[in-house]
Structure 1
Amino acid sequence: MSGSVTTRVIGSIAEILITNPERKNAISQDMWGQLDDCIRLVDSNDYVKVVIVHGGDGNFVAGADISEFKDLRQSGQSSHTYDENTEKALLRLRRTSKVTIALIEGYCIGGGVSIAVACDFRIGAADSIYQVPPARLGISYPLGSLSRLVELVGPTNAKWMIFTAARLSAVEAESIGLIRSVASDAIWEYVDDLARQISENAPLSIMATKRVIEALSNGGDSVADVANEMSEKTLSSRDYLEALEAFSQKRQPKFEGR
């Protein structure tokens, strides 16, 4: 049975489901392409504000599908092409205007960590397990994923995870900042509440903040320009006027994202 990545939209919240049950949701090269398509689809939907990325059957993603490596990563050039294809999906996930939440149950290994760290938030179930094992496979961790991991947990913790290839518990992952929170029980209820709380706020304001933080992460002299552009865009929006009117009328604002 081949794996798949599919999308479901309910109101302002979209779900991206990664499933490959025979391999604990190990993600194949074809599935990376499907993930890219799913992100593009939800990114084009003006009604979607939050995207929950999760795996099926009690696991997040147990790494890349290693059975493909012999054919797809047999040389430096083929390995580079493989990494380019995966990074295309990961960059689209990182740069989407929507708020992304990785809901992590069970195994989150290798490529699963790559997907998780490309999201805005990571929420782990109490039994979730994290590992970055390229040192056990004799390969290097892709640059984009490594950069995002270091940004999240710092150089020392990133080195420790990769050099030891140790498995981390949810509590350990939370302690180094790899995940935002551990949901001790009812993880779906926890993530749904978080998604709905976010979706009630102004999407343009959130998008602007994501753009500025991304610019800060990338560095360079353009950060101030991006910040000024986003400030002008939000101040000229109908949502800003709606927020002021709702405040004066002592009611909840109804944001439209424009």
Structure 2
Amino acid sequence: MAAAVISTHDGPIAWVKLNRPERLNAMNRQLVDELAAALLSADAEDSIRVVILHGEGRAFCSGDDLKDLDVQTESEIATQAWVEAIQNITLQIMQSSKIVIAAVHGWCVGGALEWAINCDFRLFADNTRWFFPEVSFGFFVTGGVTALLTKQVGPQIAKELIMFGERHNADKALEVGIAWKLVPEKDLLGEAERLALMVAERPANSVASIKHAINDGFHSSLHDAMAIETAATVRGFLSAEAQARARRT
């Protein structure tokens, strides 16, 4: 079985690549579990200062792989475990002592967009297309975005983005504050590396302390938001209407 996530170390940088290009790096259990292991490994390695999360092929990640919907919804226990595995990535990113940079290109959809929002810096290539599809299926968002996105873009814009699920370009991501910076696709990984090396020049303890202080202060309701999201997402996945809508895609 091919690796769904490839992690390599280059000096102070861990390059973590989502590697299911034939499915636009869609999220299945293998990818989520391997991503969790890669993030855990990077966090445990003292020489690693920054993680760059990126995608192989034509997309960062196209969100949940709905071809696995039957497996994800075979029981309430299975659905709960799937949603908690997705939410665990949020906790790993936000609670890590490393700075995590999302280098986003192509499609960035649903849970993948939520993971990108969890990252400390978000570089978007100029060809990025992004949206939240969950509500259109009858599902629900994860990644703490009901708290994080609301505080970043304001409640009206957060409701618009999540509720309507319209597809947006990279300029819109910069306009509302989801993207930190836009770069040409050909320069995306080089710009991510440049940023990572800037971070790595700073004292590790100070950088980690600043990250956690800002995350814990600005996003103080993250855990409460994720608990609400998990319960609502499990209900959505198990809804017959939502499953029927998802299978029509």
Q: TM-score, normalised by structure 2?
A: 0.82
Aligned to 1:168: 168
Residues in 2 aligned to 1:179 and 1:143: alpha-carbon distance in whole angstroms: 16
- Residues 114, 142 of structure 2: 8 Å contact kept: no
Aligned to 1:120: 120
Q: Which amino acid aligns with 1:57?
A: G
Residues in 1 aligned to 2:26 and 2:104: alpha-carbon distance in whole angstroms: 14
Instruction: Note the alpha carbon deviations across 1:141-172, whole angstroms, 9 max, x for none.
Output: 13634333323322222211122111110000
TM-fit CA distance, 1:77: 4.6
Bigger shift: residues 62-71 or 75-84: 75-84
Q: Which has the higher contact order (CA 8 A, sep 6+)?
A: 2
Residues in 2 aligned to 1:161 and 1:121: alpha-carbon distance in whole angstroms: 20
Residues in 2 aligned to 1:161 and 1:179: alpha-carbon distance in whole angstroms: 14
Q: Which amino acid aligns with 1:12?
A: P
- Residues 27, 65 of structure 2: 8 Å contact kept: yes
Aligned to 2:48: 48
Bigger shift: residues 140-149 or 198-207: 140-149
Matched residue count: 220
| Structure 2 residue matching 1:60: 3-state secondary structure | strand
Aligned to 1:193: 194
Aligned to 1:209: 210
Aligned to 1:159: 159
- Residues 123, 181 of structure 1: 8 Å contact kept: yes
- Residues 147, 219 of structure 2: 8 Å contact kept: no
Aligned to 2:140: 140
Task: Work out which of the two has the higher radius of gyration on C-alpha atoms and give 1 or 2.
Answer: 1
Does residue 93 (structure 1) correspond to residue 93 (structure 2)? The answer is yes
Residues in 2 aligned to 1:3 and 1:168: alpha-carbon distance in whole angstroms: 30
| Structure 2 residue matching 1:123: 3-state secondary structure | strand
Residues in 2 aligned to 1:2 and 1:133: alpha-carbon distance in whole angstroms: 28
Aligned to 2:15: 15
Summarize the Cα distance change of 1:44–1:24 in structure 2 as closer, same or farther, 3 Å threshold.
same
Unpaired runs of 5+ residues, structure 1, are: 221-258
Residues in 2 aligned to 1:213 and 1:155: alpha-carbon distance in whole angstroms: 20
Unpaired runs of 5+ residues, structure 2, are: 222-249
Residue identity (%):
26
Summarize the Cα distance change of 1:205–1:190 in structure 2 as closer, same or farther, 3 Å threshold.
same
Alignment of 1:230-241 (within 5 A): none
After superposing on structure 2, the runs of 4+ consecutive aligned residues of structure 1 that deviate more than 4 Å are: 74-77
Q: Which amino acid aligns with 1:85?
A: A
Summarize the Cα distance change of 1:14–1:31 in structure 2 as closer, same or farther, 3 Å threshold.
same
Q: Which amino acid aligns with 2:197?
A: R
Q: TM-score, normalised by structure 1?
A: 0.80
Residues in 1 aligned to 2:76 and 2:145: alpha-carbon distance in whole angstroms: 18
